[in-house]
Amino acid sequence: MNNDLLDFERAQELLARAADPIGRREEVSLAHAIGRVLATDLTATLDLPPADNSAMDGYAIRFADYRPDVTLPIQQRSYAGDMPAALIPGQATRLFTGSLIPEGADTIVIQENTREANGQVQILQAPKAGEFVRKRGMDTSAGQPLFSAGTLLDAAHIASLASQGLTHVQVYAPLRIGILTTGDELVPPGAERATQQIYNCNGVMLAALVQKAGAQAVHVLHARDNEPELRAAIGTMLADCDLLLSIGGVSVGEKDLVKPVLESLGGTLALWRVRMKPGKPVALAHIDGKPIVCLPGNPVSVYAVYAVLVSPLVRRMQGRTAVFPAVSAAPLRTPRPHHDKREEFLRVQWRPNPDGAPELVPYGNQDSSVISSLPWATGLARTPAGVTVNDGDIVAYYDLAHWLA
């Protein structure tokens, strides 16, 4: 094992703690709160439901009035939104789903177990006391904690907030990210391309990834391999962004100029060789308190490193409580024993086998330049360093639906 390689868990921890939450807040309407991070603890102010109501269409009675095949006069019909009169003992109130329970009633007899005729209802099947009554506060009680600061709001949270009568919430301002790609060999999509050049897919891909996580890609810049262009691009991003992500240019080649440029701007760059594949070279610097994460250049490496190393930092800076998504496990399908000196993150699909149990099926070509594997994969299977993995062995699974959210 190479002792100069940084363990994956250590690299992940160091990056996740590379910056504190940005802390800026703003108020937004619930209509614009989806995908935002709650900035304050919220407490319920209303009981839900606010009053006892019927869970079914049926008849409200006093359970004490029930006898086998009893027939009760129907005192009133009360729809959802009506305020029923108090129930007269020995009578019944016709209710519908959501109707308030009249004072004095304690049980609902569903309409399927009744027969109504001539203003009376015959109960054909014995009810249970209190059956089909939704009690006040059954869902939520006033004073009960709702959600804590750091909660990523989805439609379910918004429904709960709206049910409390809220129209606006305090959320953290969007995280502002700058993205820099480097290299003389890259040209923008749509531009004329020479034989020795390739289209730059990394910039738009990484911008899409940060936007998917709810952050803003404020700048997506490209610099050729010269110090003035790099210095200008990094300066622009430092002025406008909370986090900078650069791609390529941090190795030890003659044109790997990101490190000296960062140092000239006052940054100290820590270059790690992480025990992971793809994505061994990763670097971290800070300038003016802002983190700068340097990713390797191959598209698959960018994708994988962002997913498992950088996304926790993004979530932390956004103010989220849940920084590390869950990691599951499943058997890996491999036609031959798999072994590597580094932890390898294989692009895989999570599939059910013929018995319905999950298994992980790798993409056929795991080279870090194979972009076609990315839309195909549902996640990354992590195989341990220095250990032979055989067909059917259980390995860790990083579900991209969660790690890229």
> In sequence order, what are the residues at sequence separation of 6 or more whose Cβ sits closer than 8 angstroms to the Cβ of residue 56?
97, 108, 110, 111, 132
* pTM, 2 dp: 0.91
Cβ 109 vs Cβ 20: under 8 Å? no
Write out the residue range of the structural domain in which residue 157 sits.
25-44+142-172
pLDDT digits (tens, 9 = 90+) for 371-400: 999 999 999 999 999 999 999 999 999 999
The answer to whether residue 115 is domain-embedded is: yes
The pLDDT, as a whole number, for residue 2 is: 44
pLDDT band at residue 269, thresholds of 50, 70 and 90? confident
Q: Is residue 2 part of a domain?
A: no
* Domain endpoint, select from 318, 353, 379: 318
pLDDT band at 256 (very low <50, low <70, confident <90, very high): confident
Closest CA to 188 of 179, 180, 199, 204: 199
Whole-angstrom distance, CA of residue 21 vs CA of residue 323? 11
My answer on whether 222 and 298 are in the same domain is: yes
Over residues 25-35, mean pLDDT: 98
Give the CATH number for residue 391.
2.40.340.10
Instruction: Count structural domains, the chain.
Output: 4
Residue 263 scores a pLDDT above 70: yes
Residue 1 lies in a domain: no
Judge if 288 and 187 occupy the same domain: yes
- The reported pLDDT for the residue numbered 374 is 98
Residue 146 shares a structural domain with residue 75: no
126 and 237 in a single domain? The answer is: no
Joined tokens for residue 236:
């622009």
Tell me if 297 is assigned to some domain: yes
Give the pLDDT score at 3: 53
Same domain, yes or no, for 209 and 272?
A: yes
**251 pLDDT above the threshold of 80:** no
Place of tokens 């932890």: 343
